[in-house]
Structure 1
Amino acid sequence: MADELELLRSADPAPPDGPHFGDGPLDHTAERRLEQLLRDPGDGLDGRRRGRPGLLPGHPRGPLPGRLLPGPGRLRLAWGLVATAVVAALTLTLVLSGPSTPPAVAAPRPLVVETGSTPVPLNRMAERASAVAGTDGAPRLRKGTHVQSWSLGMSDDKPPITLPEERIVRWLADDSHTELVVATDPRHPGRPVLSDEGGEPHLVDAGHVLLDQTYPPSWSDAPPQSPPPVDPARLRAYLMEAQYTDTPLTTPELLDAMATLLDHWTLGARESAALARLLAGAEGLRPVGRVTDRLGRRGQAYVNDGRGVRRMLIMDPATGAVLGLESTLTAPDPEYGVEKGDVMSYSAWMR
């Protein structure tokens, strides 16, 4: 199914990369398309009659991480040119309010395993990670993270929305650290993305800074602030402590604890090898084949089916390092407007 946002962009008479955007008037074709769109705002992009679109209000954060896109209410979009503003706001509202459109607007689609690809067992991946850890010049542990994430926010009276963000945390020599968060989507580089900064959902430019802050020194020695161990058994205990539990972690809990770890540390080769060996012993984490992640990286995928959620772990086939983790809903929930197969969250970690 075509990406709904791509359909919108194809209908824009003044796209960002067009020759008449920002430095001159619309050409004749663009003027004609603009006139057609404005003639009857009740018509959809495909010519079928839709309800007259309203503008969308903001709404509060939902119970899941991320931010929410409002449902059939009002949304104010800030655009540079008046003509482009009218077309973009109108067509976006059509998609958000149209009865036949999916509720999770702008949500990434689930990753798809390549047909005919050969699954690689996790114990073999752990062997590869251990081999890399024994080489000269292998990557070393570094405190801080660089992660691209998508999180689905839900509300019982508004449609869900996925907001893409990129987060970079760097620790300094005095144990202070900086955190930079920007709104961006690598699937559509340079194009505007949704944000609810300030409580009102709106479009912002790609790379718009949501947070840029320096924090004072911190010397906590409790997980996940303390360095992770390189022994699988000790790493398991470390992750349990990071999750504030004395009970052995289930596989879904282990994967969530792993994500917490990777949101604080960029693992070195030895730490990645310990994590791979720990994951190789996890129950119900099965290899399914090769995937290409949302940053265009090839990886091996491992799937665990939990209660209502399917988690897909993506690992680098050469080094055994974790590349990403995707959580997908396995059942619809009409109360929150989500469908089976909607991506609840996704993280792609980078060095």
Structure 2
Amino acid sequence: MADELDLLRAADPVPADHPRLGDGPLDQRAERLLADLRREPPARRRVRWPRTGPGVRPRPAWALLAAVVAVTLSLVVGGTATTPALAAPRPLVVRADATPVSLAELARRARADAAAGAQALRKGTHVQSWSLAMSEDKAPITLPEERIVRWKTDGSHTELVVATDPTRPGRPVLRDDADGPPLVEDGHVVSRRTYPRSWSDAPPQSPPPRDATRLRAWLREAASEPDGLGTGELLDAVELLLDHWTLGARESAALAELLAGTEGLRPAGQVTDRLGRAGLAYTYEARGLAHLLIMDPRTGAVLGLETTFTRADPAYGVRAGDVMEYSAWMR
């Protein structure tokens, strides 16, 4: 462990002169993390799978500590006897199109929808998500939940998190809270929080631009990627954007235009998402992961994003085709 700690100290992940770490109001994510720190730690943490393994781009030195923890967890969840994560959704099935719709055509449709003066930008989000949770003494499980964030005119906002799985309506929902039962009723309130006034003029708190060039710069700053965004990083940044903002028609058109100029994203066909909505699917594969981007065929708005493993990695107890995470955004 000493070697990893030396690397962590040398990396200095929070330099004092970092432009994003100066004094100022906390953003939404920071406030949530601070609230979590004030509570007793749960027995199980919800985490994203470490993006390491064969063919995966190396992470910064400060991330080695997380990798060490993941290796420890693999002693429990890995091996030949590993069973699929409970409640884990299966990958979405894409139906191939005889004449696939290109992202350029979808961007044109989005611009036409924006010209008609449709939906307006709104700060806050409404998202249904499935994410893995792991612990040192239990097998991994997938926790489905719905999160609604609403901002008020005075700069304060509320966050409601509910345990629910629309693919199993009315049935018990699997949870793993520290002191709670393993199963809860559909619609069980996980948390209900009100946050005080908070203002910030930096992404992702500042409104996203309405043209593709400035939107790329906004996403790069929001994702803290000063060297630019590759396709995988861009999709991660899109997720960050949609977890903070419900896009209007003009912002969706700018995002569709930006995605149309992104290398590696290709049309895959039609798909019905986990909320029963019809969408067009676009895929990108790299470093052992497959990203499935789902977009509205009429407006070009992003409906969802699914990430699956393209190959097995016994060290982390995953198999090819396992869903790592999924998000479905709503208005």
User: Per the shorter chain, which TM-score range?
Assistant: 0.7 to 0.9
User: Hey, what does 1:124 align to over in structure 2?
Assistant: 105
Q: Give the Cα separation in 1 of the matches to 2:92 and 2:84.
A: 19
Matches within 5 A, 1:86-235: 102-116=83-97, 118-136=99-117, 138-154=118-134, 158-198=138-178, 202-235=182-215
In structure 1, which of residues 61, 72, 94 is the aligned counterpart of residue 45 of structure 2? 61
Shift of 1:173: 1.4
- Structure 1 residues 1-351: aligned runs within 5 Å: 60-61=44-45, 63-64=47-48, 102-116=83-97, 118-136=99-117, 138-154=118-134, 158-198=138-178, 202-351=182-331
In 2, Cα distance between equivalents of 1:199 and 1:332: 34
Q: Aligned AA for 1:104?
A: A
- Read off the aligned partner of 1:171 and give its amino acid letter: W
Q: Deviations over 1:106-149 (max 9, x none)?
A: 1000011114554210000000000000003x000000000000
- The root-mean-square deviation of aligned C-alpha atoms, in Å, is 2.6
Larger Rg: 1
Cα offset, 1:336, TM superposition: 2.4
Which amino acid in structure 2 is aligned with residue 183 of structure 1? Answer: A
1:64 maps to a residue whose letter is R
For 1:230, give the aligned amino acid. R
CA distance in 2, matches of 1:170, 1:62: 23
Structure 1 match to 2:34:
none
Match of 1:191, as an amino acid?
A: R
Aligned 8 A contact 1:159 1:337 in 2: no
- Asked if the contact 2:44–2:176 (Cα under 8 Å) also holds between the matched residues in 1, the reply is no
Write the letter of the residue equivalent to 2:92: L
- Tell me the secondary structure at the aligned position of residue 178 of structure 2: helix
Unaligned segments of structure 2, at least 5 residues: 1-41, 50-72
Relative contact order, CA 8 A, sep 6+: which one is greater? Answer: 2
Q: Is the Cα–Cα contact under 8 Å of residues 156 and 335 in structure 1 kept in the other structure?
A: no
1:152, distance to aligned residue in structure 2 (A): 1.7
Kept after mapping to 1: 8 A contact 2:125/2:246: yes
Matched to 1:215, the amino acid is Y
Is 2:158–2:195's contact at 8 Å kept on the other side of the alignment? yes
What residue identity is the alignment partner of 2:168?
H
* Other structure's SS at 2:329 match: strand
The alignment of Structure 1 onto Structure 2 pairs a total of residues equal to 267
SS of the counterpart of 1:335? Answer: helix
CA contact (8 A) 2:146 2:162 kept: yes
Percent identity, aligned pairs only, is: 66
Distance 1:235 1:207, change over 3 A: same
CA distance in 1, matches of 2:285, 2:135: 24
**TM-score (normalizing by structure 1):** 0.71
Equivalence for 1:87: none
Residue aligned with 1:198, SS? coil
TM-score by length of 2: 0.75
